[in-house]
Amino acid sequence: MASSYSSSSSGPRTWKYRVFTSFHGPDVRKTFLSHLRKQFNINGISMFDDQGIERGQTIAPELTRAIRQSRISILVLSKNYASSSWCLDELVEILKCKKEMGQIVMTVFYSGVDPSDVREQTGDFGDVFKKTCVGKREEEMRKWSQALTDAGNIAGEHLLNWDNESEMIEKIARDVSNKLNSTISRDFEDLVGIEAHLQKMQSLLHLDEKDGAMIVGICGPAGIGKTTIARALHSRISSTFQLSCFMENIKGSCNSGLDEYGLKLRLQELLLSKILNQNGMKINHLGMIPERLCDQKVLIILDDVDDLQQLEALANDTNWFGHGSRIIVTTEDQELLEKQCINITYHVDFPTIEEACEILCRYAFKQSWAPYGFENLAEIATELCGNLPLGLRVMGSMLRGKKEEDWESILNMLENGTIPKIHALLRVGFDSLDENEQTLFLLIAVFFNYENDGHVKTMLADSSLDVRLGLKTLAYKSLIQLSAEGEIVMHTLLQQVGIQATQKHELRKRQILTDTDDILDALENDSGSISLMGISFDTSTIKDSIEISPKALKRMRNLQFLWIYNTRWDSNVRVHLPEDMDFPPRLKLLHWEEYPGACLPHTLRTEHLVELNLENSKLKHLWKGTQPLGNLKELNLKASYNLEELPDLANATNLEILDVGECQSLVEIHSSVGNLPKLEELDMNLCRNLQVVPSLFNLSSLEKVSIMGCDRLRKLPDMSATITELRIVDTMLEEFTASIMLWSSLEGLSISGSVIPGVFSTQPHVVKLMVERSGADIERIPDCIKDLYGLERLWIIGCPKLASLPELPWSLTTLGVWNCESLETLEPFPLGSEIENLYFTDCLKLDEEARRIIIQQRSCQAFLPGRNIPAEFNHRAIGNSLTICSNACSGFKMCVIVSPKSEMEDAEDIELMCCISRNGCPTENFIFPLPSEVQSEHLAIFHSDDVIEQYSEILFEFSSSTQDVVIIECGVMCLVEETNSEQLFDN
């Protein structure tokens, strides 16, 4: 007989069921099988009851389907198993699925049955089998016999080897769980040889060992597949860790221009931001990784490491991480691993000839073998690729659809190359493109990698390039990847091919300059050619300052893309401009960080500009008068501290983004901005002297406006009805215009007062401010805020006189109130409200009714001042853990008291972690982000939807990511299904 349990799987095919158990009912149903079912329930594995299936002489059709749709089959080979032709037919079908579909088969030799008796059909087991065979056809008996032989050869659990049957059953359940958890994501199902790599890596990682942490290296040449193996491994095992992250493409980070300490700080910020899911984290010392992660079981993959400083910054000691943690480092440099004393390393071997040929064929022919006539060519191509997976993939894509004679020509070109094989392989893909496709490839490599395809199409709109078809061709040949959102991604090796390709032509014939010496020659000596399309110039690569020749850029009449940047971000001015410098006439992209002039030259022709980025410039003015700006889509003047005015932008009818944030000398936004029909984002944050902003009511495309930190701007400008995100100063609420009634699209509103914390990185969309302002603070929020029917997020920050909150929109899901020291009351949330997050940090005067409203929100996480666990949480314990017993409930609410050890004015963001275990098995993990700068004891409340259907012992364990925050007490309440109101019960 059989049973199974259904679910979907992420294996290489879609499995309807996870487990199918084949057994002889009278032998085991009321004993072994019932105990196995109970253990499976404890481990979260359920089994179907098969007694509803009618028995017969042949296997039932529904069981045949169930076998074929199951990921794992378990054979319980008891004494009378072979007495049932039904069981024997099941066995034949199971082994057929094992061979054809890769089904996992596990065996249990039960009730005195020895594997050799099954294998050879001897002993009592053999006698039973012989009786079953009486009167059967020869072919049927042969299939049964062979199936039993094969089953006897499958290693499994043998009851005679166990002193305790229950311990054997526990191990079987663990093995089933591990095998189900080890199925690989569908993202990697077609990768040749990936399973073998993963099995070897998992054996090195010793995932069953819980003591201590471990660092393991993956080493091999570029293009061998290190990153792919690491990604597949992350996909497979990350769910078994509390926290995990994949730090990609770390190579080159040591060339950022930062000193060693600054570099390590930056790398640690990136890692912590990613693993803790907090964008833009800032830290002030190098002890943050061990402080945050020393008690966490983490999986961290450091991909493409090429410098010892990177490892010293990110994984210098295994003691930085909690027990059971695994750190995986991929690199081309074996010596680097040895210097860091990383002694466990997986060296990625080249695939076998057969595997390499299959990789090439999958990309060239979309099948695992070469069709007739191409067998020899495929072998030659595989050999010339040196079995390098990346080269095989690129080569196969390039050869797809080519005729035999084209193959021979391309292979001859590859074979006769004089550059190293890996570069030759990648270069061949570039050389296979026509002239226009090559130009597009080079432009992406230098200017547009990771840009949106729409942006690239706009930049090249009036060129002779067919961008849509070109992008499709590059993606087809595996030279770029196009995401579903349209992002263009080119592999760094291919990008390097493009950069090197720009330097192969004679200087006068080059379309793009990237080499520093060539650029200096062109700018100082007027040697730039008329054929130049683009210049990408890192000014930090020059030793001395340069004087640009007045006519240098004018000679480059076809120059469209000028990108000048400084990776070091230092204050040294390296580029000096002549007063009468001429710009080329066809510029579309002008990206010049730290532009040294006070004004752009009058020779700049703006009619072709699509993007003008002059961040951190010395500009006081852009230009005088009105300019033709019909193609301009983005204008970024951020942190141009000397900028005193904006020009007339009336002709910028296609402008979508305007950023003047941190322009501290700017007093007025030009009135023309109020009539830009396509403007989507306007950022004026921290323009401290800004006093005049025109009405934005007529901006039909406007979505995001930021005016935080503009404390001299007292009046809120009229807003367009299309606004979705708004960040303002609290005094602007006093003059909320009638247009608020039209803001049906507003989803996020941030209001800042005079007492603003210095760090707000728990909410990455809130600008980090250090604003002090004297003067009146608001005492109330206008009642009309309830009419913002689409509002989902409301943040109120540092309003010390605010005493109450009015009725808020029913659409609100997040309410954050910080440092509102006078706040006492709030109105109940409207019926049907689905509030999810409530923060009342340092709002110390909340009255009892307000606290009741906050605490009784059922499916909500909340943070508010408090020193006592509320009475509703009837299970309580001092400290950070609590065990309860529950018969049935539809979820839980948890509450903990957290207390800072001292004032945390400069503290980093912190997280509260909760791990829930049921009957000894972890079931859920939660991370609750807590605001920084908490000054007193607070309650953190959150919930779980984990449904309990039978008696269980449930352990709740709470921890903090920093030692600066102590968990004093915790409490839990069980929830039941709501009827007319929330119900609680104690059990």
Answer yes or no: are the C-beta atoms of 22 and 73 closer than 8 Å.
yes
Q: Give the three-class secondary structure for 792.
A: coil
DSSP single-letter state for residue 448: I
Among residues 509, 497, 506, 499, which one has the least CA distance to residue 430? 497
Q: Tokens for 949? A: 């259907």
Cα–Cα distance for residue pair 397/479, rounded to 1 Å:
9
Bridge partners (DSSP) of residue 896 are 940, 970
Q: Provide the residue type at 442 as one letter.
A: L
CB atoms within 10 A of CB 986: 9
Q: How far is CA 135 from CA 83, 127, 141, 728, in A?
A: 14, 15, 10, 89
Q: Tokens for 503? A: 């330097």
Q: Tokens for 533? A: 């399309």
Asked whether the CA dihedral 167, 171, 177, 180 is positive or negative, the reply is negative
Residue 369: what are its φ and ψ, rounded to 5°? -140, 160
Q: Tokens for 109? A: 């030799």
Burial 323-361, CB ≥16 within 10 A → b, else e: ebbbbbbbbbeeebbeebebeebbebeebeeebbbbbbb
Cα–Cα distance for residue pair 810/66, rounded to 1 Å:
47
Cα–Cα distance for residue pair 93/68, rounded to 1 Å:
8
Q: Write out the catalytic residue numbers.
A: 90
Report CA 309 to chain centroid distance, whole Å.
Answer: 25
Q: Is 313 left (phi over 0), alpha (psi -120 to 50) or beta?
A: alpha
Answer yes or no: are the C-beta atoms of 928 and 861 closer than 8 Å.
yes
List CB contacts of 453: < 8 A, sequence separation 6 or more. 467, 471, 482, 486, 487, 488
Q: Are strands 804-805 and 793-797 parallel, antiparallel or unpaired?
A: unpaired
Burial class (CB in 10 A: 0-12, 13-18, 19+), 376: exposed
Cα–Cα distance for residue pair 562/512, rounded to 1 Å:
10
Residue 563: what are its φ and ψ, rounded to 5°? -125, 105
